[in-house]
Amino acid sequence: MKICCIGAGYVGGPTMAMIGFKCPDIEVVVVDINEARIAAWNSDKLPIYEPGLLEVVLAARGRNLFFSTDVNKHVGEADIVFVSVNTPTKTRGVGAGKAADLTYWEGAARVIASVSTSSKIIVEKSTVPVKTADAIEKVLRRNCSDPSVQFEILSNPEFLAEGTAIEDLTNPDRILIGGKDTEAGRAAIATLASVYEHWIAKDRILCTNLWSAELSKLTANAMLAQRISSMNSISALCEATGADVQQVSRAIGTDSRIGPKFLNASVGFGGSCFQKDILNLVYICETVGLQSVAEYWHQVILMNDFQKQRFVERVISAMFNTISKKKIAVFGFAFKKDTGDTRETPAIDVCRGLMADGANLCVYDPEVEDKQIYQDLGTEKFEWDHPSPRSAPIPKTAIAISHDAMEAARDAHAICVLTEWDRFKNYDYQAIYDNMVKPAFIFDGRNILDHAKLREIGFIVYALGKPLDPFLQKHYD
């Protein structure tokens, strides 16, 4: 059996590396039009940072796992073609700002149709709007010149999270495969299931119809993000009442119907998926006339925006309503720990909000590349977006980048913790404090630091969803 995956990104790369690693009898080729990305996959400096990924790639690469830019050749030869291209939010035209942009997906489908001389199973790995399989099937059938070639389309959404991709792929909660309830459809599902059965128990492989599989992926991300927005909304209430959001999370998480995961209040959720997939869900609801359902889910994003804005406003008000020309150290820029990915990271909105008020930022992140930070803070937000700190003009001179946390904090008035990197917990905060301007503030947007100890050192600590620092409390009374 030969598998080809179109798209060597955060999903295509690790997912195929795992299949190659676990299935030595299957040849797996990952293809991409991005030459630099493929070159990096063929080197020891992989294009994405993911714990454990290099080991998996090294074990299979050159044996039965290959990375190539020869899209036509490998798609043409494959029995199963995974499509794992990007499906970003549309930035212009009908549905701009909400609908999924399927340009890359359709482009991939046209390539498959044009080079196929044998029948194939086409697997939707990308997250797509419900009913995409229908549209793709039409593109495939109408563009393939050989009438004997059959395409069977399956939906097989990916649930891995960045930073834990290898763990998630090794031991997933479930594999979801959607397909048609026809003889050919059932056979295709069985073939794809047989790939996963190399390392995953049969009872963890769920089979559904196509539309349920497509919609389950959007629903899963919407539900996960909704938990975070719910806790973030409660964090605001905690600050206003003296409750502690971590205590509330623990208390409600012990209810087995709620469960303890994904209840951490934060400066806001980020990542390439949550916002995009909820907007996509909202758009689908609107197009089928379900305005109330659309508004319900849209609120999850509005709450996330509120949380980021609230964080910025609290920094400014705590620092005596002026941060102009003050140096603020930003600890963490990635959207979560253990990744160098900054797509939709809350750090972008927060940094822009602080810069708009005149702060001089010094950003430190262990994995994010400097040019990425400059690009994220230097690119204008699309005009369709609702007003947010990001819309403010960007003074590029206000951004400095450091590769050392201590240096980032030197002569700073404040530290903002925006990513929950483990290393941030273990710094010598006494030494950091000694080098800062006084009063020295810490705004912990992830609640990972020892706040009592920091207060002992002399910091004024603002922790998300926690009772205010006694100093701040006095300031507000």
Q: Which residues are catalytic?
A: 273
Cβ–Cβ < 8 Å for 376, 345: yes
Asked if 33 touches ligand NAD (CB under 6 A), the answer is yes
Lookup: tokens for 300: 């999850």
Which residues 39-78 are close enough to bind ligand NAD by CB under 6 A?
71
Of 45-53, 144-152, 271-279, 382-390: span binding ligand UDX (CB under 6 A): 271-279
Neighbours of 188 (CB within 10 A): 25
273 contacts ligand UDX (rule: CB under 6 A): yes
User: Per-residue contact track with ligand NAD, 324 to 363, x per CB under 6 A?
Assistant: ----------------------------------------
Q: Which of positions 206-265 make contact with ligand UDX (CB under 6 A)?
A: 221, 224, 228, 262-264
Number of residue whose CB is nearest ligand NAD: 9
Question: Binding site annotation covers 471?
Answer: no
Residue 420 φ then ψ, to 5°: -90, 40
Read off the tokens for 149: 């070639």
Q: Is 87 annotated as a binding residue?
A: yes
Residue 270 contacts which entry, ligand UDX, ligand NAD, none (Cβ below 5-8 A, type-dependent): ligand UDX
- For the record, the structure tokens of 160 come out as 């891995």
Count other C-beta atoms under 10 Å from residue 206's C-beta.
15
Residue 336 site contact among ligand UDX, ligand NAD, none (CB < 5 to 8 Å, cut-off depends on kind): ligand UDX
**Site for ligand NAD contains 457 (CB under 6 A):** no
Q: Per the annotation, does 77 bind a ligand?
A: no
Binds 185, which of ligand NAD, ligand UDX, none (CB < 5 to 8 A, cut-off by type)?
Answer: none
To the question of whether residue 274 is assigned a binding role by annotation, the answer is: yes
9 near ligand NAD, judged by CB under 6 A: yes
Q: Which does 57 bind (CB under 5 to 8 A by kind): ligand NAD, ligand UDX, none?
A: none
User: Alpha helix locations (H) across 177-290?
Assistant: 183-196, 210-241, 245-253, 274-287
On whether the CB atoms of residues 132 and 141 are closer than 8 A, the answer is: no
Question: Which residue type is seen at 167?
Answer: E
- Helix, strand, coil shares of the chain, percent, nearest 5, are 45, 15, 40
Question: Among 155-163, 183-191, 304-312, 324-332, which window interacts with ligand UDX (CB under 6 A)?
Answer: 155-163
Residues 110-149 that bind ligand NAD (CB under 6 A): 111, 126-127
Quickly count: other Cβ atoms within 10 Å of residue 128's Cβ.
Answer: 23
Q: Which H helix or E strand runs over 74?
A: helix 71-77
Among 11, 7, 16, 4, smallest CA distance to 48 is for 11
Looking at beta carbons, which residue is closest to ligand UDX? 271
Is residue 158 near ligand UDX by the rule CB under 6 A?
Answer: yes
Residue 364 to residues 124, 333, 400, 416: CA-CA distances in angstroms?
37, 7, 9, 10
Instruction: Report, in Å, the least distance between residue 162 CB and ligand NAD.
Output: 5
Residues constituting the chain: 477
Tokens 């939010």, residue located:
89
Which residue among 331, 333, 335, 459 contacts ligand UDX (CB under 6 A)? 335
Q: How far is the CB of 249 from ligand UDX (least distance, A)?
A: 8
Pairing between β-strand 399-401 and β-strand 414-417 as defined by DSSP bridges:
unpaired
Q: Is 226 annotated as a binding residue?
A: no
Q: Which of 43, 26, 23 is nearest to 8 (CA)?
A: 43
Burial track 5-30 (b if 16+ CB lie within 10 A, e otherwise):
bbbbbbbbbbbbbbbbbbbeebbbbb
Q: Does 273 bind ligand NAD (CB under 6 A)?
A: yes
**333 contact choice in ligand NAD, ligand UDX, none (CB below 5 to 8 Å, kind-dependent):** none
Separation between Cα atoms, residue 11 and residue 477, nearest integer Å: 50
Our CB check for ligand UDX shows the closer of 76 and 270 to be 270
- 348-385 burial code (b ≥16 CB/10 A, e <16): bbbbbbbbbbebbbbbbbbbbeeebbeebbeeebeeee
> CB under 6 A: which stretch of 28-36, 233-241, 261-269, 449-457 binds ligand NAD?
28-36
- 9 labelled binding-site residue: yes
Give the binding range for ligand UDX (CB under 6 A) out of 101-109, 268-276, 305-313, 424-432. 268-276
Establish if 418 lies at the interface with ligand UDX (CB under 6 A): no
Annotated binding site for NAD(+): 7-12, 32, 37, 85-89, 126-127, 162, 273-276, 343
Site residues, ligand UDX (CB under 6 A)? 158-162, 221, 224, 228, 262-264, 266, 269-271, 273-274, 335-336
Site residues, ligand NAD (CB under 6 A)? 6-12, 31-34, 37, 71, 84-87, 104, 107-108, 111, 126-127, 158, 160, 162, 272-273
